[in-house]
Amino acid sequence: MRTASVPLLVLALGLALPAAAAPRPVGITTLTFTKQSVTTGAPRPLATLVWYPAKPRTGTAEDLGLRDAAVRPGRHPLIIFSHGSCGRPREATYLTRALAAEGFIVAALPHPGNTADDPACVAAFGDSFVNRVPDVRFVLDAMLAQATDRSSRFHRRIRTERVGMSGLSFGGFTTLLAVQQEPRFTAAFSLVPGGVEVLDPRGISIPTLVIGAEHDQIVGYHESELAYDILKGPRYLVEVLGANHLSAVDNCLNPDTHLDLCVAGAISQDDAHRLILRYALPFFRRYLGNSRAAGRTLLRQVPGVILHAEPRRSNG
């Protein structure tokens, strides 16, 4: 870990965060884009969940949002989301829905073979490693094509020059790898990443936020520190105190098996989510929405984190 940045440490989780304004309506739709596997050549359908700013009083309400609602007028930045190993595109809806409410279009793709719906998802880790960035690129291409497709609800609704990448766990690693290989991404948010040692040591020059968990028992918080160390452009590292790896997902209680994966003594899921959103939302507002006020918010200390921030860093 480099020591050039000054850590901002606050330990008192008991202080309440400022109350958020009522969220704007969020739409949800499913778009399936089919490509070929780069390892087997077999069809690889990517049933992508897309959250987006919705026009009020449209769509059908469901748990994920307003199904097939009309898109709020205007052009909105695009963010791609990559799930963790044996995860799902909907594993962090507290994040994807909050981003959509803020005015972003979020396309969360599956990585077939390595989802929670695949019985052999652990064994498919290596195959997924090879396919993940091609999956991301394919969905990026497909979503950008929606912006010029007159038959799409996203026609003239995507700011094609403002594209972010995000992901959780294996998806956090995928985020870092994807932005090293795909120049169209202009900002990256990596949440509890692992495997950072295999990334290109030449680093990442676009603005990047890394959030890790203090008591991560799966990949370890040190992986987040290693990720921060290879960032060459504006960079931010947030350690969520008292959190563990699965604090970053919607629910550490597995909804399918009801297996309790929560870690005793960890902060609540709600507290972890509030701290993650406290940095993820202004990060994308700053670097995809060009909000200078959001940039100032990123530098403010809040209870429950250690923050390292170097917003003026330039290929350093």
- 104 within some domain: yes
Asked whether residue 129 carries a pLDDT value surpassing 50, the answer given is yes
Q: Which of 210, 199, 201, 104 is nearest to 158 (CA)?
A: 104
- β-pairing, 26-36 vs 65-67, is parallel
- 316 within some domain: no
First to last CA, the chain: 14
Q: How far does CA 188 lie from the centroid of its chain?
A: 8
Give me the mean pLDDT over the 259-267 stretch. Answer: 76
How would DSSP label each residue in the chain?
----SPPEEE--TTSPPPPPPPPPPEEEEEEEEEEE-TTT--EEEEEEEEEEEBPTT-SEEETTEEETPPBPSS-EEEEEEEPPTTB-TTTTHHHHHHHHHTT-EEEEE--TTSBTT-TTTTTTHHHHHHHHHHHHHHHHHHHHHHTT-TTSTTTT-EEEEEEEEEEETHHHHHHHHHHHH-TT--EEEEES---GGGS-TT-B-S-EEEEEETT-SSS-HHHHHHHHHTB-SSEEEEEETT--GGGGSS-SB-TTT--B-PPTTPPPHHHHHHHHHHHHHHHHHHHTT--HHHHHHHTS--TTEEEEEETT----
CA–CA dist 251, 166 (Å, integer)? 19
Q: What is the pLDDT of residues 30-56, one digit of tens each?
A: 999 999 999 999 999 999 999 999 999
Which pLDDT belongs to residue 26?
A: 98
CA–CA dist 9, 241 (Å, integer)? 10
CA–CA dist 276, 241 (Å, integer)? 11
Asked whether residue 254 carries a pLDDT value surpassing 60, the answer given is yes
Which pLDDT belongs to residue 18?
A: 47
Which pLDDT belongs to residue 22?
A: 59
Domain ranges, residue 208:
8-310
Q: Find the length of the chain.
A: 316
* Count of other CB atoms within 10 angstroms of residue 184: 14
Burial (CB count <10 Å: 0-12, 13-18, 19+), residue 215? middle
- 305 within some domain: yes
- 217 within some domain: yes
Q: Mean pLDDT of all residues in the chain?
A: 91
Q: Which range, of 56-70, 205-219, 302-316, averages the lowest pLDDT?
A: 302-316
CA–CA dist 313, 316 (Å, integer)? 6
Percent of the chain with pLDDT strictly greater than 70: 90
Asked whether residue 271 carries a pLDDT value surpassing 50, the answer given is yes
- 2 within some domain: no
- 49 within some domain: yes
The band of 3, judged by pLDDT with boundaries at 50, 70 and 90, is: very low
- 68 within some domain: yes
CA–CA dist 113, 95 (Å, integer)? 24
Give me the mean pLDDT over the 108-127 stretch. Answer: 95
pTM for this prediction: 0.91
Q: What is the pLDDT of residues 187-211, one digit of tens each?
A: 999 999 999 999 999 999 999 999 9
Which pLDDT belongs to residue 264?
A: 78
**Overall number of domains in the chain:** 1
- 3 within some domain: no
User: Which CATH number does the domain housing residue 62 bear?
Assistant: 3.40.50.1820
Q: How many CA atoms lie within 13 A of 47 on its CB side?
A: 7
Residues 169, 192 contacting (CB under 8 angstroms): yes
Q: What is the pLDDT of residues 135-185, one digit of tens each?
A: 999 999 999 999 999 999 999 999 999 999 999 999 999 999 999 999 999
The band of 1, judged by pLDDT with boundaries at 50, 70 and 90, is: very low
Give me the mean pLDDT over the 254-265 stretch. Answer: 65
Asked whether residue 293 carries a pLDDT value surpassing 60, the answer given is yes
Which pLDDT belongs to residue 21?
A: 55
